[in-house]
Amino acid sequence: MKKLVFSFVVSFFLLSVLYPEDNSYNNKCKISIYHNYRKIASGIKITESIFVTKDSILNYNNFYLKRNNNIFYNYEVIYVDRVSGLAFLKVDIPGKSEELKKNIELDEDDPLFILKNNKYHKIGTYAKKIKGYGLLNTNYKKLYVTMPLYNTKKDFIGLILGYFQKNHYLFLKNNVLKFYQKNIKSILNHGKPNLNIIVSEMWHRNGIKVIKSFNNKFKKGDIIVRIEESDINNVLDFNMSLYQYNNRSSIELIVKRKKGLEKINIRGGYDEKR
């Protein structure tokens, strides 16, 4: 597996742009990203002024946003999260933010849809959850990065991130995007702590494993199982918990070592002097 290190976290799959597609494919806000007159990605608005798409668009120069027949060059990349693979753009484009419901349950073989020409089209089925991500089973070939997915009730359920294996594609699920929507102000204000460690997914058990440490708090082989009130099952949990609790002055982590469970306290992003 390819390990992408961004101070402390390892991603466990290779993401890439899929198949650029024409403007007949859209989300409810109908905002798409183009480069050299070709559509390279889509995404969703999580607030009235923040649009979320795939971080791979930053590999392109001079991309632009398009809604219907209107082109928008006036945007600002305000944050990039390499763990979830998202880029956050500040934009001034008419249209409501995507409605992200708190809990949307998916069962194996539930049909999944895309929105094309203002109609919902079934493209495949839900396979399963894999380390916090959803897995789309499809033979549909004309997919592109951050294409929105919907369920039978036409609820938004996630954004396609990339190819996984065979006819399966990973997508970032609604609950993760709901977290960013709810916590975006805190994320922009506080970010997340730099732990100076490299971690790896644990495929057959919960927690994440420290495979290299550049400080004296964590040790190679530590398994992080909890941050404050949150259990850590995978890298996505780890990433979101660091965002969630970084508005505190101190953050407690629970790790498994040979002698049992141990507590590690790190400094949060809250500055009491402010």
Task: Give the model confidence (pLDDT) of 205-242 as tens digits.
Answer: 889 999 999 999 999 999 999 999 999 999 999 999 99
Task: Say if residue 159 is in the same domain as residue 204.
Answer: no
What is residue 99's predicted lDDT score, i.e. its pLDDT? 86
Number of folded domains that form the chain: 3
- Rounded to the nearest integer, the mean pLDDT of the chain is 87
Residue 13 forms part of a structural domain: no
What is residue 28's predicted lDDT score, i.e. its pLDDT? 67
Residue 23, token pair as written in the block: 């403007």
Q: Which residue has the higher pLDDT, 255 or 141?
A: 255
Task: Provide the CATH number for the domain around residue 255.
Answer: 2.30.42.10
Task: Say if residue 46 is in the same domain as residue 95.
Answer: yes
Residue 20 forms part of a structural domain: no
What are the E-state strand segments in 117-267?
119-130, 133-138, 148-150, 156-165, 168-173, 197-201, 208-213, 223-227, 230-231, 250-257, 260-267
Task: Provide the CATH number for the domain around residue 121.
Answer: 2.40.10
Residue 274 forms part of a structural domain: no
pLDDT band for 15, please (50, 70, 90 cuts). very low
Q: Which residue has the higher pLDDT, 264 or 7?
A: 264
Residue 86 forms part of a structural domain: yes
Task: Say if residue 195 is in the same domain as residue 255.
Answer: yes
Let me know if 182 is exposed, middle or buried by CB neighbors in 10 A (0-12, 13-18, 19+). Answer: middle
CA distances from 6 to 11, 14, 81, 117, 147 (A): 9, 15, 9, 39, 25
Phi/psi-derived region of residue 161, left when phi > 0, alpha when psi is between -120 and 50, beta in every other case: alpha
Residue whose pair of structure tokens reads 């049909």 in the numeric block: 111
Whole-prediction pTM: 0.87
Give dist(CA 193, CA 250) in Å, integer: 10
Task: Say if residue 82 is in the same domain as residue 129.
Answer: no
At 154-176, the pLDDT tens digits run: 999 999 998 888 899 999 999 99
Residue 164, token pair as written in the block: 């996984």
Residue 214 forms part of a structural domain: yes
Domain boundary among 125, 149, 175: 175
Give me the helix-helix angle, 174-190 and 235-245, nearest 10°.
40
Give dist(CA 24, CA 68) in Å, integer: 10
Residue 182 confidence (pLDDT) above 50:
yes
The arithmetic mean of pLDDT across residues 5-28, rounded, is 49
What is residue 142's predicted lDDT score, i.e. its pLDDT? 84
What is residue 67's predicted lDDT score, i.e. its pLDDT? 87
Residue 233 forms part of a structural domain: yes
Residue 135 forms part of a structural domain: yes
In 3-state terms, what secondary structure has residue 199? strand
In 3-state terms, what secondary structure has residue 175? helix
Task: Say if residue 207 is in the same domain as residue 235.
Answer: yes
Task: Say if residue 35 is in the same domain as residue 79.
Answer: yes
Residue 217 forms part of a structural domain: yes
Range of the domain at 247: 191-267
